[in-house]
Structure 1
Amino acid sequence: MNRIVEEDQVSMTMDDGEISDATSGSNEIDSGSNCFEHFVANGFSKVDESSLEACIIQTSVSQNLEMAKRPRVVAVHKNLNTSRSWQIRAHSFRVSAKAVAEKCGGDARIRYAWYGASRDEICEIVTHGFSWRTKAGGGSHSRSLSPAKHLLDSVLSSTVDENGLRHLLLCRVILGKQEVVTGDSSDQFHPISSDFDSGVDDISAPTKYIIWNSRLNFSILPCYIVSFEAPYLSETKPLKPKSPWMTFPTLISILSRFLDHSRMASLKRQYAYFKGRKITRPQMVQRVKEIAGNQLLSSIFDIYTNKGPQVSSSNGALMR
């Protein structure tokens, strides 16, 4: 692993040496890190903070997280697990990468991606693999990971442990051929055809990678656990935006005058997920944009927050 920051734009193939580099090494286990004992017990070794790989990861987190205050990376743990189960998982990943590469003309499109969760869930993943159950306790059809340069969603999906730390998995992900998956596709269980291997929210500039449940444990290989402090991220008191804004119920009520029944049903379903804490606020905002469209939303915010509009329902258009 050499260039986490830039690698997201590089086409790659996976070979035995690269798998070995992600799952083996000689870093000494820091037995004094009691708050990381779960990671150490699962075969992850603390990386020297002055090492090149630690510096690259710290820079990636710091520079690519668009916040007023940057988080402080406290520790990076590398996957050095040599157990039989991890050998099988690495082999499955390798075989899957080879098969996808053959299908896609030689490029399996393997990327680094972030996954945010509670410390307990991350321990479950590195011990037993991904589960179909979500962090909120319900079922899920897929998992969403963040590209290397768009880790905010994963950060907001992480939770603070008793030591005030959040944790992210940095994984290798096999993307292969991608399809666009929008908020209207929330009931999708698998790719729309065997031609596709994963989903994205935007083909040209993705901010999320979507891996279906049936492919989770041979398309995602956890390589590092990154632990950081971000005390300014309040879980109970989100910052009030400085730009014009309105509550989700108000916006949904307004949108009901302009969207058809199918899109409104999808919008209300996403809001139910948000209230149930199954998706984050940034994810909810993104799904509103996908369902309603930026043009309609821009008109609504412009008129309703500034102009005191009149709405003509006869032609479905916003009128000044």
Structure 2
Amino acid sequence: MANVQNQYTQFPFQTQDSGTTPTDSTSANDEDSVVSDCESGVSGPCFDQPSLSNKGLIRLSHGDKAHDVIAKRFLSNLGSLAAHTKDFTIQKNCFDGLTWQARLQSFQIFIKAMEKKCGGDANVKYAWCAATGDEISKIVEHGFGYSGLPKNSGLYGHGVYLSPADSPMESVKNAVVDNSGMRYLMLCRVILGKAELVQPGSTQCHPSSDEFDSGVDDLSTPNKFIVWTTHLNTHILPEYILSFRAPSSWKGLLGMQDKMRMKMPTSPWISFPALISALTKFLPPTAMNLISKYYRDHRDKKISRRELIQLVRQLAGDKLLVAVIKSSRTKQIQRTK
């Protein structure tokens, strides 16, 4: 059992001299301490958090290789928000007890089975998952199979939604603040196997066929990995728990950060109302009803602009969208002549 734990509890962002062959790799610079401009926003551990049981968890300290690499990767992806992050703590699941040791062995067996199924590549990734402190305590104690799963939007069916290791912001946005002002994320190792594209509005709860093993919201650049309810205790291994405190103004800062990215495009573009009007000529009513609903959700601030764009891309397809936008741009130029 010890070999199983050593093989599958190493954080992947390590240099080659560590003796491992990580799934996700970075340069040796990632072994340095946390980015200096983020250090002022990171304070010592907060261990009196009533909503997160420490049973089965051990705290990592500054100077620990895994702590520093995870902290640097996480905080650097927060951008300017990192300076507003306080009481940042990383805890490691020590997989205490016979049950967790059995889950570790099971995880290894499923990786080998997936490698055999997928021609040698099980597609194992690290990914973030937002959950409350109470949910994490239960997951650490009982695994993902207990009834109170982390709450998801349901846009992509029934399962646990995770975001890629290099995109923690997707999960940060879904992190719920507890009574003590803390937010929590899990960094999990996930067996994805062959992923299938899941359309918005799906009620899927298992792979659509034996060919597939997991779901994604976009095949080329996914923002969400979907692990179905049938695969929770075999395909997700929660290895690290991040907790941090953010001010009440953090949501406003998130909005400001999004607006800073929304600069006027230099390439051809079209407003959403005009795009919806143009797409009605090409898409069936069911698709248009969904697009209109998602646009209303965006106006009501239920989903972000980026999420809206991803949803429209999935329903309409990039080829049609490019053609519609270029056609609109051509008409605009002709009107100005």
Tell me, yes or no, whether TM beats 0.5: yes
Q: CA deviation at 1:34?
A: 0.7
Quote the Cα distance in structure 2 between the aligned partners of 1:48 and 1:33: 13
Quote the Cα distance in structure 2 between the aligned partners of 1:143 and 1:275: 26
Quote the Cα distance in structure 1 between the aligned partners of 2:113 and 2:300: 38
Return 244-253 or 160-169, whichever deviates more: 244-253
Identify the residue that residue 4 of structure 1 maps to in structure 2: 13
2:129 is the counterpart of 1:115: yes
2:213 is the counterpart of 1:197: yes
Contact (CA 8 Å) 1:79, 1:223: kept in 2 or not?
Answer: yes
Aligned counterpart for 1:153 among listed residues 159, 163, 170: 170
Q: CA deviation at 1:175?
A: 1.2
2:219 is the counterpart of 1:209: no
The one-letter amino acid of 2:137's match is: C
Identify the residue that residue 263 of structure 2 maps to in structure 1: 243
Quote the Cα distance in structure 1 between the aligned partners of 2:173 and 2:45: 29
Return 195-204 or 278-287, whichever deviates more: 278-287
Aligned counterpart for 1:82 among listed residues 76, 96, 101: 96
Structure 1 portions without partners, runs of 5+:
11-29, 311-319
Quote the Cα distance in structure 1 between the aligned partners of 2:96 and 2:64: 22
Contact (CA 8 Å) 1:153, 1:280: kept in 2 or not?
Answer: no
Alignment of 1:81-230 (within 5 A): 81-130=95-144, 131=147, 135=151, 140-183=157-200, 186-230=202-246
Percent identical pairs in the alignment equals 37
Identify the residue that residue 40 of structure 1 maps to in structure 2: 54
The one-letter amino acid of 2:101's match is: Q
Contact (CA 8 Å) 1:132, 1:213: kept in 2 or not?
Answer: no
SS in 1 for 2:193: coil
2:73 is the counterpart of 1:60: yes
Q: CA deviation at 1:54?
A: 0.6
The one-letter amino acid of 2:312's match is: V
What TM-score do you get using the length of structure 2 for normalisation? 0.68
Q: CA deviation at 1:8?
A: 5.0
Identify the residue that residue 315 of structure 1 maps to in structure 2: none
Structure 2 portions without partners, runs of 5+:
1-9, 16-21, 26-43
Identify the residue that residue 70 of structure 1 maps to in structure 2: 82
Q: CA deviation at 1:47?
A: 0.8
The one-letter amino acid of 1:264's match is: M
The one-letter amino acid of 2:82's match is: R
Q: CA deviation at 1:181?
A: 2.4
Identify the residue that residue 62 of structure 2 maps to in structure 1: 49
SS in 2 for 1:63: helix
SS in 1 for 2:209: coil
The one-letter amino acid of 1:267's match is: I
Question: Structure 1 residues 203 and 275 mapped into 2: Cα distance closer, same or farther (>3 Å)?
Answer: same
Contact (CA 8 Å) 2:185, 2:241: kept in 1 or not?
Answer: yes
Contact (CA 8 Å) 1:136, 1:278: kept in 2 or not?
Answer: no
The one-letter amino acid of 2:315's match is: I
Could you say which structure has the greater relative contact order, defined with CA pairs below 8 angstroms and 6 or more residues apart?
Answer: 1
Quote the Cα distance in structure 1 between the aligned partners of 2:216 and 2:72: 25
Q: CA deviation at 1:257?
A: 5.8
Identify the residue that residue 23 of structure 1 maps to in structure 2: none
Quote the Cα distance in structure 1 between the aligned partners of 2:140 and 2:102: 13
Contact (CA 8 Å) 2:207, 2:214: kept in 1 or not?
Answer: yes
Q: CA deviation at 1:102?
A: 1.7
Contact (CA 8 Å) 1:97, 1:108: kept in 2 or not?
Answer: yes
SS in 1 for 2:238: strand
Contact (CA 8 Å) 2:161, 2:224: kept in 1 or not?
Answer: yes
Contact (CA 8 Å) 2:135, 2:150: kept in 1 or not?
Answer: no
2:275 is the counterpart of 1:259: no
Question: Structure 1 residues 158 and 195 mapped into 2: Cα distance closer, same or farther (>3 Å)?
Answer: same
Quote the Cα distance in structure 2 between the aligned partners of 1:309 and 1:39: 65
Quote the Cα distance in structure 2 between the aligned partners of 1:270 and 1:137: 13
Quote the Cα distance in structure 1 between the aligned partners of 2:75 and 2:254: 23
What TM-score do you get using the length of structure 1 for normalisation? 0.72
